[in-house]
Amino acid sequence: AQSVTQLGSHVSVSEGALVLLRCNYSSSVPPYLFWYVQYPNQGLQLLLKYTTGATLVKGINGFEAEFKKSETSFHLTKPSAHMSDAAEYFCAVTAPYSGGYQKVTFGTGTKLQVIP
Amino acid sequence: GAGVSQSPSNKVTEKGKDVELRCDPISGHTALYWYRQSLGQGLEFLIYFQGNSAPDKSGLPSDRFSAERTGGSVSTLTIQRTQQEDSAVYLCASSLVAGAGNTIYFGEGSWLTVV
């Protein structure tokens, strides 16, 4: 079984400030972890993913996330927020199943507001 | 196509009517997924297709929901006798292959409102 918890359904930051969106996971096997972004009235777009290897993952639009096994966390960060970052962000976890496919479990999302 | 295409983008239907939602995945993608996104909630897995078969239907909420995929491409999600609680955004996604870690690409969703 796997699950994802996103702390904070709404986060507000000032333009230029650090963005930190928190994600903790639970998985009985080594997880694969994802962050997706959803802009208003659009589908989800992959920001970044961790599968194996380097634990610090860099994604699009200046975002990065670090896989910390000891803390079961995969927090998303960006050094300086832009107005265009305002969106909803979803953390997700998956693991290989016996059927050989991935059943992705998503968190409930965090809406990021960027204040001018 | 260039991306996952879904239709209709918006659908308002009366309670008790049947609706069909269509998904056209990225060309060549063998795996296809349907998710439901309700207001204020995360994404709920509905069903997964590998080719034309559906190894995992465990997320379908009731027997009013069904889905099929033909020709290893287009998929249709059908909701019979719609209820107000079916109102949600239905997202289709596809990936090149089904293995874990493969990037899943999402469509823009079909917004369903049952009145």
A31: how many CB neighbours lie within 10 A of its CB? 23
CA dihedral B54, B93, A68, A74 (to 10 degrees): -130
Sorted by sequence, the CB contacts under 8 Å of residue B10 that are 6+ apart come out as B110, B111, B113
The token duo for B15 is 């309670």
Tell if the CB–CB gap between B42 and A43 is shorter than 8 Å. no
Backbone φ and ψ for A84, nearest 5 degrees, come out as: -70, -10
Tell me if B42 sits within 8 A of A92, measured CB to CB. Answer: no
Nearest CA of chain B to the CA of A100: how many Å?
6
Nearest CA of chain A to the CA of B59: how many Å?
11
Tell me if A9 sits within 8 A of B42, measured CB to CB. Answer: no
Is B96 at the interface with chain A, CB within 8 A? Answer: no
Is B105 at the interface with chain A, CB within 8 A? Answer: yes
Those residues of chain A whose CB sits closer than 8 Å to some CB in chain B are: 9, 32, 36, 41-46, 49, 51, 90, 94-97, 99-109
pLDDT score recorded for residue B83: 97
Task: Tell me the average pLDDT across B88-95.
Answer: 94
Q: Phi-psi bin for B2: left (phi > 0), alpha (psi -120 to 50), beta?
A: alpha
pLDDT score recorded for residue A98: 44
Nearest CA of chain B to the CA of A109: how many Å?
6
Which residue of B55, B102, B108 is in closest CB contact with A99?
A: B55
Which chain A residue shows the shortest CA-CA distance from B108? A43
Answer whether the bond into residue B61 is a cis peptide, omega within 30°: no
Whole-angstrom distance, CA of residue A65 vs CA of residue B58:
31
CA dihedral over A26, A31, A34, A35, signed as positive or negative: positive
Q: Give residue for tokens 């609706």.
A: B19
Tell if the CB–CB gap between B56 and A99 is shorter than 8 Å. yes
Q: Which amino acid is at A16?
A: G
Per CB-CB distance under 8 Å, the chain B contacts of A109 are 42
- B8 CA to centre of own chain: 12
Tell me if A101 sits within 8 A of B49, measured CB to CB. Answer: no
pLDDT score recorded for residue A55: 92
Tell if the CB–CB gap between B43 and A106 is shorter than 8 Å. yes
Better-scored residue on pLDDT, B98 or A59: A59
Going from the first residue of chain A to its last (116 residues), give the mean pLDDT of each consecutive group of 10, the final group possibly shorter.
90 97 90 92 90 91 95 97 96 72 84 96
For B22-74, write each residue's pLDDT tens digit: 999 999 999 999 999 987 777 898 998 988 888 788 889 999 999 999 888 99
Q: Which amino acid is at A97?
A: Y
For B6-25, write each residue's pLDDT tens digit: 999 999 999 999 999 999 99
Cα dist. A23→A34, A59, B10, B57 in Å? 10, 16, 31, 27
B44, burial (CB in 10 Å: exposed 0-12, middle 13-18, buried 19+): middle
Q: Where are the beta strands (DSSP E) in A9-61?
A: 10-14, 19-27, 32-38, 44-50, 56-58
Helix H or strand E segment including A17: none
Tell me if A107 sits within 8 A of A44, measured CB to CB. Answer: no
Which residue of B41, B42, B108 is in closest CB contact with A43?
A: B108
